[in-house]
Amino acid sequence: MANFALIFDKLLIFDHNSSRSTCHVYSSKQSPIEEKNLGKLFLVAEINSDDKINLDIIQSIQDTLSTNYYNTDDLQIEPAFEQALESVNQRIADMVGDYDTNWLDKLNI
């Protein structure tokens, strides 16, 4: 087995009291068999505003992506990911009706 040197650095410094945006970093927690078949999901999301609903929006996107990716019938990575992205796009479209649309133009994922 190869030896890898791991180097960690600060990824994000965030003070929610003084920030002008909402940021979130997500790394999936899946079963060993799910990771073996489909790998690991990472998500970095930002909404360029400090609205209180932002974390709910990001959480909903993250949950939709993870659920639809790991609960697929297709065990090939590309089709499973494409299907999960379609579900995320539909969820975002649904949230536009649930929340004010100002967040959509400020969303970066």
pLDDT one-digit tens code per residue, 51-92? 888 889 999 999 999 999 998 887 888 999 999 999 999 999
Rounded Cα distance between 38 and 78, Å, is 9
Q: Tokens representing 97?
A: 């009706």
What pTM does this model have? 0.77
- The dihedral region occupied by 39, where left means phi > 0, alpha psi between -120 and 50, and beta the remainder, is left
Query: Sheet harboring 107-108: ordered strands across?
Result: 22-27, 42-47, 107-108
pLDDT digits (tens, 9 = 90+) for 6-42: 665 555 555 666 678 888 888 888 888 888 888 899 9
Beta partners for residue 25, in sequence order: 44
The radius of gyration computed from the CA coordinates of the chain, to the nearest angstrom, equals 16
